[in-house]
């Protein structure tokens, strides 16, 4: 069992969990993820290690509710525990001095770029972060990133905060204004990563994406996480999850992510019915208590 030490909402449906996992925290490098199974009977889901503290033996996960498992995980609070946390998994980010590194994070993808920013800065890069959200409350980790970056540009789709527009538009501006961008690292929803690759490909700027295919074991045993990169089959959990954005088959990834849509909807409905039913049974207990109390009177 892995105990949750802190839990807080960062944005609507986005929760930050600090989990005790000393074996993982002492080996964490940027780019790594863990596979989490919330409870007995639960599925195994991959989550990026957003931060770690070897001294206290904890890792930080930033989780967005998109389905049953993430909802269950986000319903937990400090003191609760998670059945399994395996890792760190995946290849760490290749960190070197590129001169000027631009990190582009969308939504919880910002959790991926956060540890990268710190390390890239450490080895001497100038670091710029462009982070996006639908509106103000969805922009996460701005303050935390500021301490590692030379510039942080929040962007919102509705213009409620920071730059009004998509992260790709801001990225273009940064590239044009600075003219010295050596590398772009990006993580977020697939359409966003695909658009970022679209911006940098014609300019020939090295671009690394962190892919998020469906995974099971996370150790290279099942092949469920396979993606096509430069025309070759790769297993994202062991060959990645980071790849050269310009050679990733995003259309295939997008399509494969829809494989279990029907079952995911069933699981979601079931979870919600379950919660309703357990509320119902709780109220039944309450009634029985009241009846008992009345009878003993």
Ligand X SMILES: Cc1cc2nc3c(=O)[nH]c(=O)nc-3n(C[C@H](O)[C@H](O)[C@H](O)COP(=O)(O)OP(=O)(O)OC[C@H]3O[C@@H](n4cnc5c(N)ncnc54)[C@H](O)[C@@H]3O)c2cc1C
Token digits of residue 193: 């990563």
> Is 235 an interacting residue with respect to ligand FES (CB under 6 A)?
yes
**Identified binder of other proteins from the candidate list 12, 220, 276, 283, rule CB under 8 A:** 220
**Identified binder of ligand X from the candidate list 68, 127, 184, 195, rule CB under 6 A:** 68
Specify whether the CB–CB gap between 48 and 29 falls below 8 A. no
Q: How far is CA 286 from CA 49, 140, 266, 282, in A?
A: 41, 41, 30, 6
Give CA–CA dist 12/40, Å, rounded: 27
> Is 78 an interacting residue with respect to ligand X (CB under 6 A)?
no
- Could you give the dihedral angle defined by the CA atoms of residues 257, 255, 94 and 142, in that order, rounded to the nearest 10 degrees? -60
**Identified binder of ligand X from the candidate list 47, 76, 155, 248, rule CB under 6 A:** 47
> Is 259 an interacting residue with respect to other proteins (CB under 8 A)?
yes
Minimum Å gap between C-beta 235 and ligand X is 11
- Cβ count near 289 (within 10 Å): 10
> Is 66 an interacting residue with respect to ligand FES (CB under 6 A)?
no
> Is 237 an interacting residue with respect to ligand FES (CB under 6 A)?
yes
* Strand runs labelled E in 28-180: 33-37, 44-48, 51-53, 58-64, 81-82, 84-89, 100-106, 126-133, 151-156, 163-164
Q: DSSP string of 260-287?
A: THHHHHHHHHHHHHHHHHHHHHHHHHHH
Q: What is the footprint of ligand FES within residues 186-215 (CB under 6 A)?
A: 215
**Identified binder of ligand FES from the candidate list 83, 123, 221, 230, rule CB under 6 A:** 221
The closest of 221, 207, 212 to 241, measured between CA atoms, is 212
Tell me which H or E stretch contains 209: strand 207-210
**Identified binder of other proteins from the candidate list 20, 37, 126, 194, rule CB under 8 A:** 37
Token digits of residue 49: 């290690």
> Is 85 an interacting residue with respect to other proteins (CB under 8 A)?
yes
> Is 217 an interacting residue with respect to ligand FES (CB under 6 A)?
yes
Judged by beta carbon, residue 52 or residue 200, the one nearer other proteins is: 52
Q: What is the footprint of ligand X within residues 152-211 (CB under 6 A)?
A: none
Specify whether the CB–CB gap between 208 and 195 falls below 8 A. no
Contact segment (CB under 6 A) with ligand FES among 66-74, 140-148, 168-176, 223-231 equals: 223-231
- Cβ count near 292 (within 10 Å): 10
Q: What is the footprint of ligand X within residues 107-126 (CB under 6 A)?
A: 108, 111
Residues engaged in binding other proteins (CB under 8 A)? 23-24, 27, 37, 41-44, 68-69, 83-89, 216-224, 226, 228, 233, 238, 252, 255-256, 258-260, 263-264, 266-267, 270
* Interface residues toward ligand X, by CB under 6 A: 33, 45-48, 62-64, 66-70, 108, 111, 212-215, 219, 241, 257, 264
């Amino acid at each position: 069992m892995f105990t949750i030490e802190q839990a807080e909402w960062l944005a609507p449906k986005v929760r930050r969990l600090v989990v005790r996992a000393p074996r993982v925290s002492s080996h964490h490098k940027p780019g790594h993820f863990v596979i989490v199974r919330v409870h007995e009977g639960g599925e195994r889901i991959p989550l990026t290690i957003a931060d770690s503290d070897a001294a206290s033996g904890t890792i930080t996960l930033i989780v967005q509710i998109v389905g049953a498992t993430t909802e269950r995980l986000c319903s937990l609070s400090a003191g609760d525990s998670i059945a399994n946390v395996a890792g760190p998994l995946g290849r760490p980010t290749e960190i070197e001095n590129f001169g000027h590194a631009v990190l582009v994070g969308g939504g919880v993808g910002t959790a991926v770029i956060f540890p990268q920013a710190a390390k890239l800065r450490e080895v001497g890069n100038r670091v710029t972060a462009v982070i996006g959200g639908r509106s103000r409350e969805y922009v996460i980790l701005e303050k935390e990133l500021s301490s590692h970056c030379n510039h942080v540009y929040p962007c919102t789709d509705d213009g409620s905060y920071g730059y009004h527009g998509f992260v790709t538009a801001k990225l273009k501006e940064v590239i044009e204004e600075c003219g010295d961008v050596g590398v772009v690292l990006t993580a977020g929803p697939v359409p966003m990563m695909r658009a970022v690759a679209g911006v940098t490909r014609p300019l020939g700027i090295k671009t690394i994406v962190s892919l998020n295919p469906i995974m099971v074991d996370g150790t290279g045993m099942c092949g469920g996480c396979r993606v096509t990169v430069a025309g070759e089959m790769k297993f994202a959990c062991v060959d990645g999850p980071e790849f050269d954005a310009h050679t990733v088959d995003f259309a295939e990834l997008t399509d494969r992510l829809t494989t279990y849509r029907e079952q995911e909807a069933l699981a979601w409905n079931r979870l919600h019915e379950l919660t309703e039913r357990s509320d119902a049974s709780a109220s039944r207990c309450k009634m029985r208590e009241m009846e008992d109390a009345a009878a003993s009177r």
